[in-house]
């Protein structure tokens, strides 16, 4: 039963029996896992603030062969993202990240780029107070790293260039189609503005510090959320909550 040390982001915790919790974690070295944190519900637990939602922690985890649920031996807080969640918009954004991560990140597949992306997005939520661009950036790179970012410039059906007006997207599909190919497709016109795409290719911190949000961020986010829902094969609860809160 090897003990492993790994950085992790706490996605959520669930109560388990009297004194324990189950922690859903996105770890740097082991990918997404679930682990029992024994004694975590006691007032004086050794986990302290390390199991608050979205805490960046160093976790010590026992791997148990043939068992889905691992066992966490201890966790130390590296950086907290808890206070920022006093702002309701940021709290919803944080819950959105956790929900999307649980729905989209495969279990037990380490992904260092995705881990670094997640941390950069959390830090930007914490320090900028802005919600739209950090979430847009998260969605864009999550989709891109997962390999289902569609071609924004060409029709997925006939390959024709879509031009500035963009293409049509039908919920449930994986790409954009042109005016000709959209016949019979109940979709909506979607374009991802070049300035939005360019922004997503800068370091997030710099993009937010140096420029105002370009037009089209919200539209792009909505489109990315559609793609995520299609791939996760379910509606995102926090997406609806965020739309209500705006």
User: The tokens of 126 are what?
Assistant: 């914490």
Cβ at position 25, least distance to Zn ion in Å? 43
Query: Cα(18)–Cα(36) distance, rounded to whole angstroms?
Result: 13
Q: Provide the CA 246 distance to its chain's centre, in angstroms.
A: 20
Query: Cα(194)–Cα(43) distance, rounded to whole angstroms?
Result: 51
Q: Specify the residue, 181 or 232, whose C-beta has the smaller distance to Zn ion.
A: 181
Let me know: does 79 contact 55? Beta carbons within 8 Å. yes
**What residue has token string 């793609």?**
227
Cβ at position 139, least distance to Zn ion in Å? 25
Q: Please state, in angstroms and as integers, the Cα–Cα distance from residue 68 to each residue in 24, 35, 65, 200, following that order.
A: 12, 9, 8, 35
Cβ at position 162, least distance to Zn ion in Å? 8
Cβ at position 177, least distance to Zn ion in Å? 5
Q: Specify the residue, 73 or 157, whose C-beta has the smaller distance to Zn ion.
A: 157
Nearest CA-CA partner of 68 in 24, 112, 105: 24
Q: Specify the residue, 31 or 166, whose C-beta has the smaller distance to Zn ion.
A: 166
Q: Specify the residue, 49 or 158, whose C-beta has the smaller distance to Zn ion.
A: 158
Cβ at position 192, least distance to Zn ion in Å? 18
Q: Specify the residue, 151 or 211, whose C-beta has the smaller distance to Zn ion.
A: 151
Q: Specify the residue, 181 or 193, whose C-beta has the smaller distance to Zn ion.
A: 181
Cβ at position 154, least distance to Zn ion in Å? 8
Cβ at position 156, least distance to Zn ion in Å? 8
Q: Specify the residue, 155 or 190, whose C-beta has the smaller distance to Zn ion.
A: 155
224 CB neighbour count, 10 Å cutoff: 24
Positions that interact with Zn ion (CB under 5 A): 155, 157-158, 160, 178, 181
Query: Cα(88)–Cα(188) distance, rounded to whole angstroms?
Result: 31
């Amino acid at each position: 039963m090897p003990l492993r040390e790994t950085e992790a982001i706490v996605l959520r915790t669930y109560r388990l029996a009297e004194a324990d919790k189950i922690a859903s974690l996105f770890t740097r070295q082991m990918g997404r896992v679930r682990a029992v944190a024994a004694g975590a519900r006691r007032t004086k637990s050794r986990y302290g603030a390390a199991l608050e939602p979205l805490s960046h922690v160093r976790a010590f985890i026992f791997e148990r062969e043939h068992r889905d649920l691992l066992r966490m031996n201890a966790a130390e807080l590296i950086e907290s993202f808890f206070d920022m969640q006093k702002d309701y918009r940021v709290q919803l954004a944080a819950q959105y990240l956790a929900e999307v991560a649980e729905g989209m990140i495969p279990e037990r597949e380490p992904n260092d780029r995705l881990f670094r992306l997640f941390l950069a997005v959390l830090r930007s939520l914490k320090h900028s107070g802005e919600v739209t661009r950090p979430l847009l950036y998260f969605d864009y790179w999550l989709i891109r790293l997962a390999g289902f970012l569609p071609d924004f410039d060409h029709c997925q059906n006939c390959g024709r260039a879509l031009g500035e007006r963009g293409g049509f997207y039908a919920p449930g599909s994986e790409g954009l189609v042109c005016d000709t190919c959209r016949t019979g497709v109940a979709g909506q016109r979607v374009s991802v503005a070049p300035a939005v795409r360019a922004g997503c290719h800068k370091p997030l911190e710099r993009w937010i510090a140096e420029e105002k949000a370009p037009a089209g961020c919200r539209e792009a986010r909505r489109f990315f959320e559609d793609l995520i829902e299609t791939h996760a094969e379910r509606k995102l609860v926090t997406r609806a909550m965020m739309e209500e809160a705006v």
